[in-house]
């Protein structure tokens, strides 16, 4: 049975490697990671503005609210630039993708319907933040990828203005990007006009209606999160980087749900979503491997005690590679069940506890990888979330690992005793 499973994943590995190394998925993941600093800044600004408002610190609340507006409420603008910029270098060596990012950003603006603000007796054009925030994430990804790919096509076919030798590179690059900018801008204008004639009214509304909402319905449920968790851990078990394979597909969905929570909290409403990217990261922190490390510290076998001492400090900061590869957990069928299922059990318990009100809903604020246990959960916005993470890591995780590890420890002890004779 083990050999059959191994053979199956050996055949499957090249396919999964291609998925994980896919240029478009890597560009999406790169763009999402590129917004992390902005999201963290905006997340803390939202939380800070709420508490400052409660303390009647009006000016501070206004300032923090403005920061959240130009970060989280403009998330789609950063994504459309970053995803286009990240994709181009995969196709054109030496091109940093900045020009394609600017073109994608311009196209996004062209496809975004303007509003108006009454200024006395006249109306002033205004850009609503509706499609600049969470609702525009998917259209930003699509516009960024398509703009970058079209830019690459134009460049590779030589449809550019070439300057004579000796002209400064700055001028040469400006003219080289002139045709792609104009051509793709005109295409965006045509698309925007055609959508004005439809019931959707805009490209953004169409993407939101037929792609983002249905995908959130499918991927935005606890059941979808459970499936994702199981797939990721199964891939990890067979030595495949499950995070790289699966996360680019679900991050846009879960991150958009977090942004909805932050927007609701900023407006003084309750967070509408239980799950999201922050929920997944906090609940499955370190892959629940800390419990295994804690058990190793009191193991009977010398092998596991020494590994536990080496792995405990990194594990307290969510870095569990030493125990994953040192045990090893990869291809270790004796510990396969807890390694694959522990995250899922924790997600179910956390979801139920949140759903019944025992634990507060996550604010949607994103945290920094590498923060120690407990501190990692502080951005959730509730003390109950910190307690939840502590209970999962210090009580639930050791309990889930215990029966399986006890068997492995006894086996290792017997081997050590046999070798000593």
Going residue by residue through the chain, which has 421 residues, state the pLDDT in tens, using 9 for 90 and above. Answer: 556 655 665 666 676 667 667 899 889 888 988 888 888 888 888 888 888 888 888 899 899 989 988 898 899 999 999 999 999 999 999 889 999 999 999 999 999 988 767 666 666 777 777 889 888 888 999 999 999 999 999 999 888 777 667 666 667 676 778 889 999 999 999 999 999 999 999 999 999 888 888 888 877 899 999 999 998 898 888 877 777 778 888 888 898 899 889 888 888 888 999 999 999 999 998 889 999 999 999 999 999 999 999 999 999 988 888 888 888 888 888 899 999 999 999 999 999 999 999 999 998 888 777 778 888 788 777 899 999 999 999 999 999 999 999 999 999 999 888 887 7
Quick check: helix, strand or coil at residue 372?
coil
**pLDDT in the model for residue 7:** 64
Quick check: helix, strand or coil at residue 131?
coil
Cα distances from 66 to residues 197, 308, 364, in angstroms, run: 35, 47, 18
Q: Note whether 339 and 327 are within 8 A (CB).
A: no
Tokens of 40: 């963290």
C-alpha dihedral (60, 65, 66, 67), degrees to nearest 10: 90
Tokens of 116: 């108006």
Tokens of 35: 């917004």
A 10 A CB-CB count for 372 gives 10
**pLDDT in the model for residue 5:** 57
Q: Note whether 172 and 112 are within 8 A (CB).
A: no
DSSP code, position 324: H
- H helix and E strand count, the chain: 20, 2
Q: Note whether 389 and 405 are within 8 A (CB).
A: no
């Amino acid at each position: 049975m083990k050999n059959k499973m191994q053979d199956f994943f050996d055949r499957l590995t090249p396919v999964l490697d291609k998925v994980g190394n896919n240029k478009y998925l890597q560009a999406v993941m790169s763009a999402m990671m590129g917004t992390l600093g902005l999201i963290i800044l905006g997340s803390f600004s939202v939380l800070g503005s709420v508490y400052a408002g409660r303390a009647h610190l009006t000016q501070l609340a206004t300032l923090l609210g403005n920061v959240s507006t130009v970060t989280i409420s403009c998330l789609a603008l950063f994504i459309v630039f970053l995803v286009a910029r990240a994709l181009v270098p995969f196709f054109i060596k030496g091109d940093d993708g900045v020009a394609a990012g600017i073109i994608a950003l311009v196209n996004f603006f062209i496809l975004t319907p303007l509003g108006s603000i009454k200024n006395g007796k006249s109306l002033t054009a205004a850009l609503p933040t509706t499609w600049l925030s969470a609702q525009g994430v998917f259209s930003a990804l699509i516009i960024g990828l398509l703009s970058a790919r079209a830019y690459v096509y134009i460049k590779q076919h030589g449809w550019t203005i070439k300057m004579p030798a000796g002209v400064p590179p700055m001028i040469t690059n400006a003219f080289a990007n002139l045709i792609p900018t104009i051509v793709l801008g005109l295409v965006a204008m045509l698309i925007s006009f055609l959508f004005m004639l439809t019931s959707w009214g805009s490209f953004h509304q169409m993407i939101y209606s037929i792609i983002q909402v249905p995908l959130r319905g499918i991927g935005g449920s606890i059941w979808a999160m459970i499936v994702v968790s199981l797939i990721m851990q199964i891939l990890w078990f067979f030595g495949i980087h499950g995070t790289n394979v699966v996360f680019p597909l679900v991050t846009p969905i879960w991150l958009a749900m977090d942004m909805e929570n932050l927007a609701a909290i900023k407006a003084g409403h309750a967070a509408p979503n239980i799950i999201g990217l922050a929920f997944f990261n906090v609940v499955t922190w370190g892959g629940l491997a800390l419990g295994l490390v804690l058990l190793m510290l009191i193991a009977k076998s010398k092998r596991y005690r020494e590994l536990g001492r080496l792995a405990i400090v990194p594990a307290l900061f969510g870095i569990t590679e030493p125990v994953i590869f040192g045990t090893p957990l990869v291809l270790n069928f004796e510990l396969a069940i807890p390694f694959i299922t522990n995250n899922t059990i924790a997600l179910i318990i956390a979801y139920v506890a949140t759903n019944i009100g025992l634990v507060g809903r996550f604010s949607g604020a994103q945290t920094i990888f590498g923060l120690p246990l407990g501190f990692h959960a502080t951005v959730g916005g509730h003390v109950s979330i910190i307690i939840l993470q502590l209970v999962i890591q210090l009580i639930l995780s050791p309990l889930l690992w215990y029966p399986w590890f006890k068997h492995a420890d006894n086996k290792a002890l017997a081997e050590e005793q046999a070798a000593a004779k």
